[in-house]
Chain A
């Protein structure tokens, strides 16, 4: 409260700050280690990890976007995967995941939407882009319009829905185990049945779903951009 104005901070904002600080620390450590590494030996440790990530993402980007400007998109894809991976995994340490908020996923999907439209304009020109709304017949205008918006909406709702549903199911499981452990007389005040049942669910809902949804998001981004260049 500042004076008469009440400021509310959503829990995901603090998670975003923590995730960003983690990524900055990771980048600084890798930078320091690479500067002091010997270029003639094989890399090991964190430098090897970073090299593998860069190689994998470059290969994925170049394979899906068959165009000479494919390396320009690789940094965005790399940032996207690291950010989504760490965000989706932050449910394990008790933070409220940033992707649990529809604003975050909608922003990322809108960035992809702008990239897709820009790729389309670069590929066929502005006149070709406007003409693509009207083929094969001007009556198809609404359908073409929606087929350009649909990837953005479906990607954002897919990521949001998966992460949010996972977190709601875990909330319900913890509530149920708290109710069950309320029956025990003295130690029932703390939820002691929860940590026996929840780790299996955490493994599926946080690790598996988080990694797969990240992979799908970047695959769909590169495939949609590559589709525009293929014409």
Chain B
């Protein structure tokens, strides 16, 4: 293994740091959703679909990072 391949591995690892705060953000959103269901149990279907939509949009940045990491590993 030469230095080039090691640097590619480090680059892919740094690219995955983009997913650092998505866990925190989506967990917070899930907590707020559970609280909202507790306050108003009838609107559970709407709250659930809105939670899934918001969480998947917030996950976009982490997916960009994973895509860049895969491109770095497999193409460079």
A interface residue numbers (CB < 8 A to B): 154, 157-158, 160-162, 164-165, 168, 212-213, 215-216, 219-220
What's the count of A-B pairs with C-beta under 8 Å?
A: 29
**A161-B63, A212-B56 provided; 14 other pairs, C-beta below 8 A?**
A154-B60, A157-B64, A158-B60, A158-B63, A161-B66, A164-B70, A165-B63, A165-B67, A168-B74, A212-B52, A213-B56, A215-B52, A216-B53, A216-B56
A220 to B54, CA, bound (A): 11
Complex: how many Å from CA A220 to CA B70? Answer: 26
B34-65 residues at the A interface, CB under 8 angstroms: 52-53, 56-57, 60, 63-64
Q: Which residues of B contact A158 (CB under 8 A)?
A: 60, 63
Minimum Cβ distance to chain A for residue B74 (Å): 8
Closest 8 CB pairs of A and B: A161-B67, A161-B63, A158-B60, A165-B66, A216-B56, A212-B56, A168-B70, A162-B63
User: Do A161 and B57 contact each other (CB < 8 Å), given the known contacts A168-B70, A212-B52?
Assistant: no
User: Which residues of chain A have C-beta atoms less than 8 A from B74's C-beta?
Assistant: 168
Task: Note all chain B residues with C-beta closer than 8 A to A215.
Answer: 52-53
Question: Which residues of A sit under 8 angstroms from B53, Cβ to Cβ?
Answer: 215-216, 219
Bound Cα distance from A95 to B52, whole angstroms: 27
CA distance A215 to B57 in the complex (A): 11
Given contacts A212-B52, A215-B53, A216-B53, contact A164 B60 (CB under 8 A): no
Query: What are the residues of chain A within 8 A of B56 when measuring CB–CB?
Result: 212-213, 216
Inter-chain contacts of A212 with B (CB < 8 A): 52, 56
Fill in one digit per residue for B7-33: 1 if any A CB lies within 8 Å of its CB, else 0: 000000000000000000000000000
Kindly provide the distance from the CB of B51 to the nearest chain A CB, expressed in whole angstroms: 11
Give the chain A neighbours of B67 by CB distance below 8 A: 157, 160-161, 164-165
Q: State A158–B66 Cα separation when bound (angstroms).
A: 11
Across the two chains, which residue of chain B brings its CB closest to A157? B64
- A212-B57 Cα distance, complex, nearest whole Å: 10
Some 15 contacts from A to B, beta carbons below 8 A apart, are: A157-B64, A157-B67, A158-B60, A158-B63, A161-B63, A161-B66, A161-B67, A162-B63, A168-B70, A168-B74, A212-B56, A213-B56, A215-B53, A216-B53, A219-B53
